[in-house]
Structure 1
């Protein structure tokens, strides 16, 4: 498999202080540093996993995927370029900010910035901002990202080239659209694609190590006055118990625990589920009956 993990993400926001309050006080992340232009947030031993950039237009900025080695970065760059996805070299400033050895920049069929990299700085001490049992990351990466797109087939083909494989799919009845879930390591999915009328970032998921941490984050989100967009529930396909909040960047963040893993990829069976959750997750995608 080509890709290793989803290594980092970048988002735009109008208010860095609000993101810091949300990330540290609700999510349990550590603020690494903050300037007038950016905030970096730590989840584990990597230098940072989230970068929040000051911008007049909030939303998704980029996703960074760890390909492991220079040889793999060169191979994927050549293959994607041959398929009509030319690469741009990461600048010295970008490499320094992301704390990686090298990176290449692509644009996926949905218009999203994709960064392939290797050599992410590791071994940094993680000190949560509140009492917290940590995140489930490591070889699974930081979590998963979800895009709504008008170009589902092209998006699946693009990400398949760089190593992602189908896990399963679900027909989302409230929006009358199919959602496709793709994995690149043992995490059930690192990427999901939801067919829709526009190309837009939908949500990011991060996984805590315990249900107590999820419950605490749920309570802290309510105490901070954050909008809970989907109530606590359990998903059918990845079995994550989670809830969703609206981030200061205007998209949703799923916070959960207990996700299943794909330990034997050769015997994995791709199936269709008829609902996104066993219970709960009441909200736009699963309204109360």
Structure 2
């Protein structure tokens, strides 16, 4: 079991009837629990709609770095077409320094679906297709600022400030062949989403990333691939299916439930996904809007996969 590394994803959704401040507090409790149980990383999403309890993840990552001890933290993902690559590099080198190197930088080419939010963030009325086309060029600039890839004597020859900080690992989040190839060209790790409706859940995409990574980087090392999936895990199959049906009535047009069932059943489904996509890294989005069932699922899977727990206070 130890060959499979498990991470968690939190979107910070404020479900109907919930209080946003309570959702924030739950995220901190979940982070501390995952830290104790031996999960590899907690990823935090970026969204700008009113039913989320944070927008950009940077301030959450900074706060969680001080509230946890060993768990990795990451953005899933910065909407890079909207921002200055230098500013992103500075923010995440700073987060690396604050966290002792535990923060990784995940980016994507997506933008908000809400045209009002998009215009406010982008500072223009350009259509989404025009803005997202900037992803590749901004990614190239971001890498240069992270790496200090400038001539000797250049202002950024020692990389973005803070220069002393460890360079955060770069991940690209996506759901198609285009993002997979861009990640391979950029020598970035790749997280492939199964739960977004746009995903075809095609193992050929991660296989293409691995092949192209070898071709572009000339490396025999296996590139790092993670599969991001959604999960409803409960004590009984009946409870799990009931929660799945409720969720699909809320988010059916944007996301899907990938695995559902008891802890033992979810373990078996996770192992099947590991084999199908040939990965040792899975990111789990637990689709529970109630804290106690989510907590129970996080604990149950940690025990079944024999994660290295540290239960000291």
TM tier relative to shorter chain: 0.3 to 0.5
- Structure showing greater Rg: 2
Give the alignment's TM-score, normalised by structure 1: 0.34
Superposition TM-score, scaled by structure 2 size? 0.32
- Which structure's residues are more often helix, by fraction? 2
**Greater share of residues in strand:** 1
